[in-house]
Amino acid sequence: MDKKILIPIDFRIESLNTLKYALEERKQEKSTIILMYSEHISDSITELLFYDSAKKIKALASSEFNDAIAIILNTYESSLHAIKIELFNGMNKNAFLNFYTAQRIDLIYLPKDYRLKPHKNGFDPIPLIKKSKVEYKEVAWASDHAYASKDELNQLFK
Protein backbone atom coordinates (compact mmCIF):
# COMPACT_ATOMS: atom_id res chain seq x y z
CA MET A 1 0.00 0.00 0.00
CA ASP A 2 1.65 3.22 -1.03
CA LYS A 3 1.39 6.26 1.15
CA LYS A 4 0.49 9.74 0.10
CA ILE A 5 2.92 12.33 1.26
CA LEU A 6 2.34 16.07 1.21
CA ILE A 7 5.17 18.53 0.90
CA PRO A 8 4.67 22.30 0.67
CA ILE A 9 6.81 23.97 -2.00
CA ASP A 10 7.38 27.45 -3.37
CA PHE A 11 8.38 26.41 -6.91
CA ARG A 12 12.01 27.05 -6.08
CA ILE A 13 14.49 24.25 -6.51
CA GLU A 14 15.75 24.73 -3.00
CA SER A 15 12.37 23.77 -1.53
CA LEU A 16 12.63 20.36 -3.22
CA ASN A 17 15.33 19.42 -0.72
CA THR A 18 12.55 18.52 1.71
CA LEU A 19 11.27 16.07 -0.87
CA LYS A 20 14.75 14.62 -1.31
CA TYR A 21 15.12 14.05 2.42
CA ALA A 22 11.64 12.61 2.76
CA LEU A 23 12.25 10.12 -0.04
CA GLU A 24 15.62 9.16 1.39
CA GLU A 25 13.86 8.35 4.64
CA ARG A 26 11.07 6.36 3.01
CA LYS A 27 13.14 4.42 0.51
CA GLN A 28 11.68 1.06 1.61
CA GLU A 29 8.06 1.92 0.91
CA LYS A 30 6.38 3.06 -2.23
CA SER A 31 4.91 6.55 -2.03
CA THR A 32 2.95 9.10 -3.98
CA ILE A 33 4.04 12.68 -3.53
CA ILE A 34 1.74 15.68 -3.54
CA LEU A 35 3.67 18.92 -3.86
CA MET A 36 1.43 21.68 -2.57
CA TYR A 37 1.75 25.29 -3.63
CA SER A 38 -0.41 27.73 -1.70
CA GLU A 39 -1.84 30.75 -3.37
CA HIS A 40 -4.53 33.31 -2.67
CA ILE A 41 -7.20 33.02 -5.29
CA SER A 42 -8.11 36.12 -7.25
CA ASP A 43 -11.24 38.19 -6.51
CA SER A 44 -11.87 38.99 -10.14
CA ILE A 45 -14.84 37.20 -11.67
CA THR A 46 -13.32 37.01 -15.13
CA GLU A 47 -10.13 35.57 -13.73
CA LEU A 48 -12.11 32.98 -11.80
CA LEU A 49 -14.08 32.13 -14.92
CA PHE A 50 -10.90 31.27 -16.82
CA TYR A 51 -9.13 29.73 -13.84
CA ASP A 52 -7.05 26.75 -14.89
CA SER A 53 -4.82 25.20 -12.26
CA ALA A 54 -2.82 23.15 -14.79
CA LYS A 55 -1.93 26.32 -16.69
CA LYS A 56 -1.04 28.09 -13.45
CA ILE A 57 1.29 25.29 -12.43
CA LYS A 58 2.90 25.31 -15.86
CA ALA A 59 3.53 29.04 -15.63
CA LEU A 60 4.98 28.80 -12.14
CA ALA A 61 7.35 25.90 -12.79
CA SER A 62 10.59 26.94 -14.46
CA SER A 63 12.35 24.53 -16.79
CA GLU A 64 15.07 24.10 -14.16
CA PHE A 65 12.42 23.23 -11.59
CA ASN A 66 11.02 20.59 -13.93
CA ASP A 67 14.56 19.28 -14.46
CA ALA A 68 15.00 19.02 -10.71
CA ILE A 69 11.77 17.03 -10.38
CA ALA A 70 12.90 14.77 -13.23
CA ILE A 71 16.20 14.19 -11.43
CA ILE A 72 14.39 13.18 -8.25
CA LEU A 73 12.01 10.94 -10.18
CA ASN A 74 14.98 9.20 -11.82
CA THR A 75 16.79 8.80 -8.53
CA TYR A 76 13.92 7.26 -6.61
CA GLU A 77 12.28 5.49 -9.53
CA SER A 78 11.55 2.27 -7.65
CA SER A 79 10.13 3.79 -4.48
CA LEU A 80 8.16 6.55 -6.13
CA HIS A 81 4.74 6.12 -7.55
CA ALA A 82 4.21 9.63 -8.86
CA ILE A 83 4.87 13.26 -8.11
CA LYS A 84 1.86 15.52 -8.45
CA ILE A 85 1.67 19.26 -8.03
CA GLU A 86 -1.51 20.67 -6.50
CA LEU A 87 -2.58 24.22 -5.81
CA PHE A 88 -4.08 25.02 -2.43
CA ASN A 89 -6.26 28.13 -2.33
CA GLY A 90 -7.66 27.89 1.18
CA MET A 91 -7.35 30.57 3.82
CA ASN A 92 -7.88 28.72 7.10
CA LYS A 93 -7.40 25.54 9.05
CA ASN A 94 -10.65 23.95 7.91
CA ALA A 95 -9.86 24.54 4.27
CA PHE A 96 -6.54 22.84 4.74
CA LEU A 97 -8.17 19.90 6.54
CA ASN A 98 -10.55 19.61 3.60
CA PHE A 99 -7.64 19.52 1.19
CA TYR A 100 -5.92 17.00 3.45
CA THR A 101 -8.92 14.67 3.44
CA ALA A 102 -9.74 15.10 -0.22
CA GLN A 103 -6.21 14.26 -1.30
CA ARG A 104 -6.09 11.36 1.24
CA ILE A 105 -2.78 12.53 2.65
CA ASP A 106 -1.05 10.12 5.03
CA LEU A 107 1.93 12.13 6.09
CA ILE A 108 3.30 15.65 5.80
CA TYR A 109 6.95 16.60 5.57
CA LEU A 110 7.93 20.16 6.38
CA PRO A 111 11.29 21.92 6.10
CA LYS A 112 12.58 22.81 9.54
CA ASP A 113 14.79 25.81 8.83
CA TYR A 114 13.98 26.75 5.28
CA ARG A 115 11.33 29.42 4.89
CA LEU A 116 9.20 29.17 1.78
CA LYS A 117 9.59 32.16 -0.50
CA PRO A 118 6.34 32.09 -2.49
CA HIS A 119 5.84 34.07 -5.68
CA LYS A 120 3.32 36.86 -6.08
CA ASN A 121 -0.10 36.02 -4.53
CA GLY A 122 1.37 32.93 -2.91
CA PHE A 123 1.68 32.39 0.82
CA ASP A 124 3.54 30.19 3.24
CA PRO A 125 1.13 27.44 4.40
CA ILE A 126 3.43 25.98 7.07
CA PRO A 127 1.91 27.86 10.08
CA LEU A 128 -1.52 26.74 8.88
CA ILE A 129 -0.41 23.12 8.62
CA LYS A 130 1.12 23.21 12.08
CA LYS A 131 -2.11 24.64 13.53
CA SER A 132 -4.23 21.95 11.88
CA LYS A 133 -3.10 19.26 14.33
CA VAL A 134 -2.36 16.70 11.66
CA GLU A 135 0.67 14.45 11.67
CA TYR A 136 3.77 16.09 10.25
CA LYS A 137 7.51 15.59 10.28
CA GLU A 138 10.13 18.26 10.08
CA VAL A 139 13.34 17.69 8.21
CA ALA A 140 16.40 19.82 8.73
CA TRP A 141 18.72 20.62 5.87
CA ALA A 142 21.10 23.51 5.50
CA SER A 143 20.04 26.28 3.18
CA ASP A 144 22.95 27.44 1.07
CA HIS A 145 23.19 31.11 1.86
CA ALA A 146 25.71 31.99 -0.81
CA TYR A 147 23.17 31.12 -3.47
CA ALA A 148 20.06 31.93 -1.47
CA SER A 149 18.81 34.64 -3.79
CA LYS A 150 19.18 32.52 -6.91
CA ASP A 151 17.18 29.62 -8.23
CA GLU A 152 19.64 27.11 -9.59
CA LEU A 153 19.72 23.41 -10.21
CA ASN A 154 22.82 22.98 -8.07
CA GLN A 155 20.82 23.89 -4.96
CA LEU A 156 19.51 20.36 -5.06
CA PHE A 157 23.02 18.97 -4.62
CA LYS A 158 25.27 19.08 -1.61
Which one of 42, 98, 101, 154 is in contact with other proteins (CB under 8 A)? 154
How many whole angstroms separate alpha carbon 73 and alpha carbon 59?
A: 21
Question: What does the buried/exposed string (b/e) look like for 59-68 if buried means 16 or more CB atoms within 10 Å of the residue's CB?
Answer: ebbeebbeeb
20 near other proteins (CB under 8 A): yes
Q: Does 83 engage in binding with other proteins (CB under 8 A)?
A: no
- Number of helices (H), then strands (E), in the chain: 6, 5
Nearer of residues 19 and 128 to other proteins, judged by Cβ:
19
Pattern of binders to other proteins over 129-148, x per CB under 8 A? Answer: -----------------xx-
Question: Which of 59, 70, 82, 140 lies at the binding interface for other proteins (CB under 8 A)?
Answer: 70
Q: Which of 11, 65, 76, 99 is in the footprint of other proteins by CB under 8 A?
A: 76
Q: In Å, how far are 52, 59, 78, 135 from 110, measured between CA atoms?
A: 27, 24, 23, 11
Q: Are 5 and 109 in contact (CB under 8 A)?
A: yes
Told to check if 2 binds other proteins by CB under 8 A, we report no
Applying CB under 8 A, does 82 fall inside the site for other proteins?
A: no
Site size for other proteins, by CB under 8 A?
A: 21
Q: Are 139 and 111 in contact (CB under 8 A)?
A: yes
CA distance 64 to 52: 22
**Span from 38-46, 70-78, 122-130, 133-141 in contact with other proteins (CB under 8 A):** 70-78
Q: Are 153 and 13 in contact (CB under 8 A)?
A: yes
**72 lies in the binding site for other proteins (CB under 8 A):** yes
* CA dihedral over 91, 89, 16, 148, signed as positive or negative: negative
For position 71 contacting other proteins by CB under 8 A, the verdict is yes
Binding positions for other proteins, rule: CB under 8 A: 20, 24, 66-67, 70-72, 74-78, 146-147, 150, 152-154, 156-158
